[in-house]
Chains A and B, each alone.
Chain A
Amino acid sequence: MKFTDEQLKFTRMLAETLPYGILILDTEDRIIGINRNCSFFLNITDPEPQARTYRQVLSENIEGSLSRVIQETRDKGYMLERTLRLSLSGGVQITAAVSSSLLCETGGIIYGMVIVFKEMTASQELERMRELDELKSLFISTVSHDLKAPLTSICGYADVLLQFSGEKLDEEETEYVRIIKQEGLRLTNMINDMLNVASIESGNLHLRPVLCSVKDILYDVLKVSVIDKARHSFFVDLEEGLPALWLDRDQMVRVFINLINNAVKYSPEGGTIKLRAYVKERNLQVDVIDPGVGMSQETLNHLFEKFFRARSDAVSQIKGTGLGLVITKGIVEEHGGIMAVKSNEGKGSTFSVILPLRLSEHKPESC
C-alpha cells in the first residue's frame, strides 16, 4: 500500500487529534502505528515502539488483557466494545472501553488489526453524578411530600382548635396552640424552600413567562410583605415608561417578596426601604435598598451559598433557612438576569435584580 507524504502527514495528524488511543498491529503482532493517547493508556515508555511486537513493549498485566482482545479479533474479525481496567504511570487506574477490528481491504487481504481505546472514567463519573443527582431530587421530593401529610394534620388541628374552641381554651393554652401552628407553617416554608432549591439545581424550574409589568409586581409584593408599619416605611421610585417584560409572574413575585422581606428583617431598627426601578443600558434594574445592619465582605463572599447564614450579634435573632437568596438568584438567572449586591456594614445593603431587555421589550408598558 503506497501513501503520499501528504496523506501520511494528514493521517498522523488525525490519529494524534482524536480523543482515543489507537493501536495498529500487523499480522505478526508488530506495532505499525500508535498514537500518543494509546502510549499513555498502555503506559508505554519505549519512545520507538514501532516494529516491535506488543508483547515486547507492554507490561505483563496489560499484555494479558490485550492478548485476549487480539485473539478474539482474529477469530471473529472484530471485537465489540468492552471495558478494561488499565494502570497508568504512578499507579493511577482508569477504565477504558476497547473495541477492535481486522484491518483488511475489500478483496480480503489482511494487513493486521486496529484497536481503539476510549477513556471511560470521566463519563462514568458523570453518569454516577447524574444518578446521584436524580436520587437526591427523588429523595427530597418524596421526603417533602411525606412530611407535608403530618404537617397538614398538625397545622390543621391547631387551626381548628383556634377557630372552633371558643372559650374552652384559656389565654395561655391558646398561645401554645398558636405556636404549634406557627412553627408548623415555618417547617412547611423550610420544606418548600428545599423543594425550590432542588428544582432550580436540577433545571426543573420550567418558567411560564407572560408579558408583565414590574410596577404591578412590586405593588402586589408590597401588599403582602411582612412589615412593621410602626417602624418601616417604603419609598418607591419607578422610572417613567418602564417596559413590560416576559417574566414568570409567580416566580418574580417570589423574588421580590424574598428581597423586600429580607430588607425588613435586616433593618431591625426600622427606617425607609427604597425600591427603585429603571432602565440601564439594555437591562431593567430593580434595586431594593435597606438602611439595615449591612454585611461584612466575608459575608458577601458567601451570601448566595446554600444554607449560609450571616453570623453576627446584629442578626443572630433573625430566623431563616439560608435558602431564600439561593432561590432568588436561581429564579433571576433562569430569566437570563443577574443579581448584584452592595453593602456597608452597619449602614445597609442594596440588592439589585438586573433583567435583560429583549428587542420587543424596549417599548413602555401599556398599563
Chain B
Amino acid sequence: MGDKPENWKNRIKFLVVEDDIPVRTFTVRILKLLGFSGTIYEAESGKEGLAVMSRDKDIHCIICDWHMSDIDGFAFIQRVRAERPQEDIAILMASGESMTGKITDVLEHGADDYLMKPFTTEDFQKKLDKVLSGIKEKLEQDTVR
C-alpha cells in the first residue's frame, strides 16, 4: 500500500530540549498542530537530551534551547555533531538571544538554523521547512523503496 504524500510527517522523530516547561509544551503542541504526528521526545536539560539520543539512534531533528541549566547550547551541539553529521540529524536552535554575532556562532558550531524567541507559527514552520528539507527527501525516498 502506497504512502500518502504527507506520510513522512508521521515518521519523523523529534527531540525537544528545553528547560522551561511551558515553552517545551508549546513547542510540542505546535509541532502537532503543524501535522507532525510521530514520536516527539522531550528533555529538560542537555544531558537528558543526550541520554534520549543514546537510547534512540533514529531521531531526525532536535529543537533545543541555548541557555540550559547543565550544558549550554554550544556544548550540546558539539556533542551531538561528534556522533551525528548534519545530513543525518537537523538541529534547530531556539533562543531568546538576539545578538547577531552570537547567532552566527551557533550556526558555525553546527546548528542548521536559529529561531529567535518568541516565535510565531509562521517563523517556526519556515525554519522547520528549511532544516528538514534533506530529511524529508530521505524519508520520502525510503517510502518509495
From A149, A192, A208, A248, contact of B22 by CB (8 A): A149
Instruction: Say yes or no: B119 contacts A152, CB within 8 Å.
Output: yes
A contact residues around B48 at 8 Å (CB): none
A contact residues around B20 at 8 Å (CB): 149, 152
Contact with A along B17-59 (1 / 0, CB 8 A): 0001011001001100100000000000000000000000000
Known contacts A160-B33, A164-B33: A151-B99 contact under CB 8 Å = no
Instruction: Say yes or no: B104 contacts A156, CB within 8 Å.
Output: no
A contact residues around B119 at 8 Å (CB): 152, 155-156
* Closest Cβ–Cβ distance, residue B134 to chain A (whole Å): 26
Is residue B85 contacting chain A, with contact meaning CB distance below 8 A? no
| A130 to B101 alpha-carbon distance, docked (Å) | 24
Instruction: Say yes or no: A160 contacts B118, CB within 8 Å.
Output: no
**Contact-residue bracket for chain A:** 20 to 34
**Contact-residue bracket for chain B:** 20 to 34
B contact residues around A251 at 8 Å (CB): 100
Is residue A123 contacting chain B, with contact meaning CB distance below 8 A? no
Count CB-based A-B contacts (< 8 Å).
68
B contact residues around A191 at 8 Å (CB): 96
Q: Which of B69-115 contact A (CB under 8 A)?
A: 96-101, 104
Known contacts A156-B30, A160-B33: A149-B98 contact under CB 8 Å = no
Is residue B143 contacting chain A, with contact meaning CB distance below 8 A? no
Instruction: Say yes or no: A184 contacts B118, CB within 8 Å.
Output: yes
Is residue B120 contacting chain A, with contact meaning CB distance below 8 A? yes
Instruction: Say yes or no: A151 contacts B117, CB within 8 Å.
Output: yes
Q: Which of A124-167 contact B (CB under 8 A)?
A: 144-145, 147-157, 159-160, 163-164
* Closest Cβ–Cβ distance, residue B25 to chain A (whole Å): 8
Instruction: Say yes or no: A157 contacts B26, CB within 8 Å.
Output: yes
| A299 to B104 alpha-carbon distance, docked (Å) | 38
| A191 to B100 alpha-carbon distance, docked (Å) | 15
Instruction: Say yes or no: B121 contacts A196, CB within 8 Å.
Output: no
A contact residues around B98 at 8 Å (CB): 192, 195-196
* Closest Cβ–Cβ distance, residue A345 to chain B (whole Å): 35
| A208 to B22 alpha-carbon distance, docked (Å) | 35
| A144 to B26 alpha-carbon distance, docked (Å) | 20
| A111 to B104 alpha-carbon distance, docked (Å) | 65
Is residue A272 contacting chain B, with contact meaning CB distance below 8 A? no
Instruction: Say yes or no: A153 contacts B26, CB within 8 Å.
Output: yes
B contact residues around A152 at 8 Å (CB): 20, 23, 26, 96, 117-119
B contact residues around A188 at 8 Å (CB): 118
> Which of B22, B96, B101, B122 has the most chain A CB within a 10 Å cutoff?
B96
B contact residues around A207 at 8 Å (CB): 101
A contact residues around B30 at 8 Å (CB): 156, 160
Instruction: Say yes or no: A163 contacts B100, CB within 8 Å.
Output: no
Instruction: Say yes or no: B33 contacts A150, CB within 8 Å.
Output: no
Instruction: Say yes or no: A149 contacts B104, CB within 8 Å.
Output: no
| A36 to B18 alpha-carbon distance, docked (Å) | 63
Instruction: Say yes or no: A149 contacts B96, CB within 8 Å.
Output: yes
| A206 to B105 alpha-carbon distance, docked (Å) | 12
Is residue A269 contacting chain B, with contact meaning CB distance below 8 A? no
The chain B residue with its CB closest to the CB of A157 is B26
A contact residues around B96 at 8 Å (CB): 144-145, 147-149, 152, 191
| A208 to B29 alpha-carbon distance, docked (Å) | 37
Is residue A175 contacting chain B, with contact meaning CB distance below 8 A? no
The 4 closest A-B pairs by CB, nearest first: A148-B96, A155-B118, A250-B100, A152-B118
What are 10 residue pairs bridging A and B, where the CB atoms are less than 8 Å apart in the complex? A145-B67, A149-B96, A152-B96, A152-B118, A155-B119, A159-B122, A160-B30, A164-B121, A208-B104, A250-B100
Interface residues of B (CB under 8 A from A): 20, 22-23, 26, 29-30, 33, 67, 96-101, 104, 117-122
Beyond the given A159-B122, A205-B101, could you list 18 further A-B residue pairs with CB under 8 A, ordered by the A residue number? A145-B96, A145-B97, A149-B22, A149-B23, A152-B117, A152-B118, A153-B26, A154-B118, A155-B120, A156-B26, A156-B118, A160-B121, A163-B121, A185-B118, A199-B99, A206-B101, A208-B104, A251-B100
